[in-house]
Amino acid sequence: MILDPQGALVWTDTQFKEPFNLDIREYKGEPHLTFWDGKKLGASGNGINYILNSSYHIVKVVKAGNGLEADLHEFNLLSSSNTALLDTYFTREADLSKIDGGSKDGWVWDSGFQEIDLETDTVLFDWRALDHIDVEKTYAKLDIANDDGKKASNAFDWFHINSIDKDGQGNYLISSRHLHALFCINGVTGNVMWQLGGKGNMFRDLTDSSAYPGKPSPTEIKWQHHARWHDNDTSITVFNNNGETATATSIGMWFDIDPVARTVRTRGVYTSPSNAFGQFQGSMSVLPNSHVLLGFGSAAQSSEFTADGTPICDIRFGPRKEFNTGSAENYRAIRGHWVGRPDTNPDVVLEPDVISQNMWMYMSWMGATEVRNWRLEAKSGEGAEEAVLVLATIPKEGFETTIDLSCLGVIAATSGQHSQAQVRAMSKRSAHQSANKHLHQNPTRNQGQHSVKFFRAVALDANNTVLGTSTWVDAGDQLTLDPSASSISASLLSSYSDSSTTATANKLKQAAFVTVAAVILILIGLLPVFWFVVSWVRKRNSDKIVAYEPVSETDKTDA
- By C-alpha distance, which of 17, 19, 13, 26 is closest to 49? 19
Is residue 447 very low, low, confident or very high in pLDDT (cuts 50, 70, 90)?
low
Does position 424 have pLDDT exceeding 60, yes or no? no
Residue 244 domain flag:
yes
DSSP letters along 404-428, please?
A: EGGGGTEEE--SSPPPHHHHHHHHH
Q: Which residues contact 299 (CB under 8 A, 6 or more apart)?
A: 250, 276, 277, 278, 279, 323, 324
Confidence band (pLDDT; 50, 70, 90) for 525? confident
> Average pLDDT, whole number, for the chain?
87
How many domains is the chain partitioned into structurally?
Answer: 2
Residue 415 falls inside a structural domain: yes
How many CB atoms within 10 Å of residue 405?
Answer: 24
Res. 546 pLDDT band, cuts 50 70 90: very low
pLDDT of residue 536: 67
Sequence-distant contacts of 422-429: CB under 8 A, at least 24 apart = 426/484, 426/485, 429/484, 429/485
Q: For residues 497 and 402, is the Cβ–Cβ distance under 8 A?
A: no
pLDDT confidence of residue 511 = 60
In this structure, are 261 and 302 located in the same domain?
yes
- How many whole angstroms separate alpha carbon 451 and alpha carbon 481? 6
CATH number for the domain that contains residue 424: 2.60.40
* 198 in a structural domain: no
Q: Which domain holds residue 371?
A: 347-506
Shared-domain flag, residues 351 and 437: yes
Residue 159 maps to a domain: no
Is there a domain that residue 364 lies in? yes
Which of 506, 524, 554 is where one domain is finished? 506
Is residue 186 assigned to a domain?
no
pLDDT in tens, 179-196: 999 999 999 999 999 999
Question: Same structural domain for residues 374 and 457?
Answer: yes
Range with the poorest average pLDDT among 82-96, 166-180, 451-465, 541-555: 541-555
Residue 376 and residue 480 in one domain: yes
Least Cα distance to 445 among 402, 498, 496 occurs for 496
Lowest mean pLDDT among 2-16, 445-459, 465-479: 445-459
CA distances from 64 to 80, 91, 133, 269, 379 (A): 20, 15, 22, 35, 54
Asked if residue 487 and residue 444 are part of one domain, the reply reads yes
Half-sphere exposure of 386 (CA within 13 A, CB side): 18
The answer on pLDDT for 510 being more than 70 is: no
Query: What letter does residue 470 receive in the DSSP assignment?
Result: P
The amino acid occupying position 496 is: Y
E strand or H helix at 284, and its extent?
A: strand 283-286
> Residue 433 above 60 pLDDT?
no
Encode pLDDT of 192-214 as tens digits. Answer: 999 999 999 999 999 998 999 98
Identify whether residues 246 and 272 lie together within a single domain.
yes
Domain termination site, one of 287, 305, 334: 334
Cα Rg of the chain, angstroms: 34
Host H or E run for residue 429:
helix 420-435
Please check whether residues 288 and 245 belong to one and the same domain.
Answer: yes
Q: Is residue 288 located within the same domain as residue 360?
A: no
Q: Are 154 and 107 in contact (CB under 8 A)?
A: yes
- Specify whether 409 is located in the same domain as 269: no
pLDDT at 488: 52
Lowest mean pLDDT among 7-16, 255-264, 273-282, 432-441: 432-441
pLDDT reading at 543 higher than 50: no
Tell me what percent of the residues of the chain surpass a pLDDT of 90: 72
Encoded amino acid at 415, one letter = S
Amino acid letter, 218: P
DSSP-based three-state secondary structure for 101: coil
Examine the domain organization and report whether 441 and 495 are in the same domain: yes
Q: What is the mean pLDDT of residues 8-18?
A: 96
Within-domain flag for 367: yes
- Note whether 436 and 352 are same-domain residues: yes
Domain boundary among 476, 506, 536: 506
Query: What pLDDT score does 80 carry?
Result: 94
Q: Are residues 320 and 455 in the same domain?
A: no
| The predicted structure's pLDDT at residue 486 | 60
Arithmetic mean of pLDDT, 446-456: 82
Q: Closest by alpha carbon to 164, among 146, 155, 177?
A: 177
Residue 512 host element (H or E): helix 503-542
Q: Please give the pLDDT value at position 537.
A: 59
Q: Is residue 105 part of a domain?
A: no
